[in-house]
Amino acid sequence: MHSGPRILLWNYTYEEMLVIDAFFQTVGAPEVQTIEQNQGELTVREILFADKRSEKEYALDEKIMLFYNVDPQMIHTVMRKSGEWNLPKPIYAVVTKQSIEWPFSELAEHLVKERDFVKKKMDGQKKHQSCPHSEH
């Protein structure tokens, strides 16, 4: 069982993957693994360690980058420098002891809800921090 560090990618185009590959080589990122649509209903563990596919395809129009056993310093490097390469901004997440057992589809939906919740909360805080005399 290969348990070395890997970065799992969801919903990137072929052209985006070419740029990401060059970017990852430049920063020294670990091996990349693409999550295919017919793997969306599999657990993250199955995606990482078994060459399995499902009859059912999963679709979600979000880009997701999952870090498995990746050094925190590398995660920060990838997140910080990806903007310099004009890469699409994904939802970043680290595979945990709990999330490795989840079907990818459930994890993805959870990550989207979490991101939307945080974004809504941040937008609300920005509103309250604006000038109280403005009409917005």
Residue extents of the structural domains in the chain: 6-129
Over the chain (136 residues), what is each successive 10-residue block's mean pLDDT? 86 95 97 96 96 92 97 97 91 97 97 94 74 50
First-to-last CA distance in the chain?
56
C-alpha span between 37 and 82 (Å, rounded): 24
Please identify which residue in the block is written with the tokens 């609300």. Answer: 124
Q: What is the pTM of this model?
A: 0.87
C-alpha span between 40 and 65 (Å, rounded): 14
Torsion of CA 105, 67, 116, 46, to 10 degrees: 10
Quick one: fold of 6-129? Macrophage Migration Inhibitory Factor (3.30.429)
